[in-house]
């Protein structure tokens, strides 16, 4: 369960970073 939670968190962070990068361009 913990591992899945961490993976989900990492996925969300990557998603946010992707959006931030798109907005910066």
Output the CA angle 21-24-25, nearest 5 degrees: 90
Segment 1-25 shows an average pLDDT of 91
Average pLDDT value over all residues in the chain: 91
Q: How far is Cα 2 from Cα 24, in angstroms, rounded to an integer?
A: 33
Segment 8-20 shows an average pLDDT of 94
Using the predicted structure, report yes or no on whether residue 9 has a pLDDT greater than 90.
yes
Domain limits at 6?
Answer: 1-25
Q: Identify the pLDDT of residue 10.
A: 93
Q: Identify the pLDDT of residue 24.
A: 79
Segment 13-18 shows an average pLDDT of 95
Count of the separate structural domains present in the chain: 1
Q: Identify the pLDDT of residue 1.
A: 73
* CA-CA-CA-CA dihedral for 6, 9, 14, 20, to nearest 10: -150
């Amino acid at each position: 369960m913990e591992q899945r939670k961490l993976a989900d968190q990492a996925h969300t962070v990557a998603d946010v970073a992707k959006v931030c990068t798109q907005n910066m361009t």
